[in-house]
């Protein structure tokens, strides 16, 4: 086992800058998730950690050892890819044994380790089958067994569950997480699925456009997003954003045009450099309520709008509200009978708002 440090990684492919300075410390035994949209540099980061790609600048450290220019075979790293690359002409047993064979591990030891990995992944009954005789989920287990059989210092997984159907994906998420806990291997897991990231990661590194935007526990990322990108990327439906002007001269408030948000003294103090300026206000859909359903002690403004659209999902009801030029989304749990065209007054608590600098996108509150 080992901790992994990424220091100032820059990677260019011709004119494309895939990574623009990635710094990240991954603790020994940690399960960290790289989360971000397509093309943000997740796979490139993994490939540099694996040694399949060299950075143009920066370093990769395993413990105190600089491995930046070490070939993959000398790193004791395993990688599981999105397309579960199991070899079709080899039985499951031989697929799993392969990385041990090329390392020259004695036959007796190979058998022991294959059995260990197969039992952990619950595929010991399938060892004499060929990959075409397996389901997608079973093939993916073979790929994971083959990755852990060498007892890697670092396990890298690149969207390993994206080829599975929704139900199996949920099952495999918890199984992979449990497996990782059991063997304690430092794991870097790539996904663009925020639910996967939130449920699996000890910590999440949110990436965008070749940069890390924020690193934190799932809770920190959700409750204290560092900027508008993270706030908008994590959470479904997306956080509501709207512009408002900070007014601190007489009554202290945020003026959003169609409505105003009164500021407590504490909030006003945090915003004193922004007097007269426009900021971005964010509020998550699950913290907006129709007035009649609001928690009793909630303190915040009332906003009147017209219902544009209702998504009745059974477990949740999502209301799209038009308030002048603004479009606000309200998420309620359970079913509710709100109709398109109805007027609705919604409220939210002042303690739930986020405020971002309009120029930098950085969180002020
Ligand atoms: N071999 C390559 N040659 C040229 N450009 C590349 C190469 N590999 C990656 N890129 C570019 O680098 C950027 C980052 O790619 P990367 O594969 O790391 O993204 P990603 O976050 O894994 O995306 P996805 O979620 O779609 O897999 C993209 O703009 C991509 O087009
Ligand atoms: Mg990728």
Superfamily of domain 240-357: Nucleic acid-binding proteins (2.40.50.140)
The distance in angstroms from the start CA to the end CA of the chain is 38
Which residues contact ligand 1 via a Cβ below 6 A?
Answer: 13, 16, 18, 36, 38-44, 192
Supply the pTM of this predicted model.
0.93
Q: Among the bound ligands, name the one nearest to the CA of residue 11.
A: 1
Closest CA to 45 of 94, 92, 87, 10: 10
Q: Among 70-84, 276-290, 335-349, whose mean pLDDT is lowest?
A: 70-84
* Cα separation, 99 vs 84, whole angstroms: 15
Q: In this structure, how many other beta carbons lie within 10 angstroms of the beta carbon of residue 339?
A: 8
* Cα separation, 300 vs 347, whole angstroms: 6
Instruction: Sort 316 into a burial class: Cβ within 10 Å, 0-12 / 13-18 / 19+.
Output: middle
Residue 318 has pLDDT above 90, yes or no: yes
Band (pLDDT 50/70/90 cuts) for residue 166 is confident
* Rounded average pLDDT over 326-350: 96
pLDDT at 164: 81
pLDDT at 85: 76
Mean pLDDT of the chain: 95
Shortest-distance Cα residue to atom 20 of ligand 1: 39
Distance from the alpha carbon of residue 230 to the mean position of ligand 2, in angstroms: 19
Mutate to test the pocket of ligand 1, among 18, 20, 49 (most ligand atoms within 8 A of CB): 18
Distance from the alpha carbon of residue 231 to the mean position of ligand 1, in angstroms: 23
Band (pLDDT 50/70/90 cuts) for residue 163 is confident
The pLDDT tens digits for 214-223 are 999 999 999 9
Query: What sign does the dihedral 326-327-333-337 (CA atoms) show?
Result: positive
Q: What is the DSSP string of 22-36?
A: EEEEE-TT-EEEEE-
Distance from the alpha carbon of residue 152 to the mean position of ligand 2, in angstroms: 22
- The fraction of the chain above a pLDDT of 90, given in percent, is 89
pLDDT at 83: 73
Secondary element (H or E) of residue 294 = none
Domain span(s) for CATH 2.40.50.140 in the chain: 240-357
Domain span(s) for CATH 3.40.50.300 in the chain: 4-233
Q: Tokens standing for 50?
A: 């694996």
What residues contact residue 349 under an 8 Å CB cut-off, 6+ apart? 287, 295, 298, 299, 300
pLDDT at 86: 87
User: In DSSP terms, which residues pair with 328 in a beta bridge?
Assistant: 321
Shortest-distance Cα residue to atom 28 of ligand 1: 39
pLDDT at 63: 95
pLDDT at 187: 97
Q: Which atom of ligand 1 is nearest to the CA of 41?
A: 18
Tokens 């139900």 — which residue? 167
The pLDDT tens digits for 19-42 are 999 999 999 999 999 999 999 999
Q: Which atom of ligand 1 is nearest to the CA of 14?
A: 4
pLDDT at 84: 64
The pLDDT tens digits for 51-91 are 999 999 999 999 999 999 999 989 999 999 877 678 999 99
* Cα separation, 142 vs 135, whole angstroms: 11
pLDDT at 227: 98
* Rounded average pLDDT over 193-220: 97
State which residues have CB under 5 angstroms from ligand 2, the bound ion. Answer: 43
The pLDDT tens digits for 144-160 are 999 999 999 999 999 99
Q: Please tell me whether the peptide bond between 103 and the residue prior to it is cis, using omega within 30 degrees of 0.
A: no
Shortest-distance Cα residue to atom 26 of ligand 1: 38
Shortest-distance Cα residue to atom 6 of ligand 1: 13
Residue 339 has pLDDT above 90, yes or no: yes
Distance from the alpha carbon of residue 147 to the mean position of ligand 2, in angstroms: 18
Shortest-distance Cα residue to atom 1 of ligand 1: 13
Fold classification of 4-233 (topology level) = Rossmann fold (3.40.50)
Q: Tokens standing for 92?
A: 């499951």
Closest CA to 213 of 233, 243, 197, 195: 233
Shortest-distance Cα residue to atom 7 of ligand 1: 13
Q: Which atom of ligand 1 is nearest to the CA of 11?
A: 12
């Amino acid at each position: 086992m080992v901790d992994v440090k990424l220091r100032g990684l820059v990677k260019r492919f011709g004119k494309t800058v895939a990574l623009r300075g990635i710094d990240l410390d991954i603790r020994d035994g940690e399960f960290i998730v790289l989360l971000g949209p397509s093309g943000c540099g997740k796979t490139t980061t993994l490939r540099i950690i694996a040694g399949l790609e060299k950075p143009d600048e920066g370093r990769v450290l395993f413990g105190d050892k600089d491995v930046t220019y070490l070939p993959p075979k000398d790193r004791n790293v395993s990688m599981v890819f999105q397309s579960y690359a199991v070899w079709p002409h080899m039985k499951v047993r031989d697929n799993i044994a392969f990385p041990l064979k090329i390392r020259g591990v004695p036959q007796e030891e190979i058998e022991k380790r294959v059995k260990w990995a197969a039992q952990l992944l619950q595929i010991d009954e399938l060892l004499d089958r060929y990959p075409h005789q397996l389901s997608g989920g079973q093939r993916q287990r073979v790929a994971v067994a083959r990755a852990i059989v060498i007892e890697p210092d670092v396990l890298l997984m690149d969207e390993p569950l994206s080829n599975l159907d929704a139900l199996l994906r949920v099952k495999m998420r918890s199984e992979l997480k449990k497996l990782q806990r059991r063997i304690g291997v430092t794991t870097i897991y790539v996904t663009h699925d925020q639910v996967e990231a939130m449920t699996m990661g000890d910590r999440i590194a949110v990436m965008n456009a070749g940069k890390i935007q924020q690193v934190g526990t799932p809770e920190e990322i959700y409750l204290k997003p560092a900027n508008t990108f993270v706030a908008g990327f994590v959470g479904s439906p997306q956080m509501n954003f709207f512009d408002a002007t900070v007014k601190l001269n007489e009554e202290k408030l945020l003026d959003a045009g169609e409505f105003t948000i009164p500021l407590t003294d504490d909030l006003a103090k945090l915003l004193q450099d922004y007097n007269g300026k426009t900021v971005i206000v964010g509020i998550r859909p699950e913290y907006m309520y129709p007035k009649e359903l609001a928690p009793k002690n909630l303190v915040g403004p009332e906003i009147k709008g017209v219902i544009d659209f209702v998504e009745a999902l059974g477990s949740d009801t999502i209301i799209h509200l038009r308030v002048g030029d603004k479009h606000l989304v309200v998420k309620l749990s359970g079913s509710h009978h709100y109709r398109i065209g109805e007027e609705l007054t919604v409220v939210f608590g002042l303690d739930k708002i986020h405020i971002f600098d309009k120029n930098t996108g950085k969180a002020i509150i």
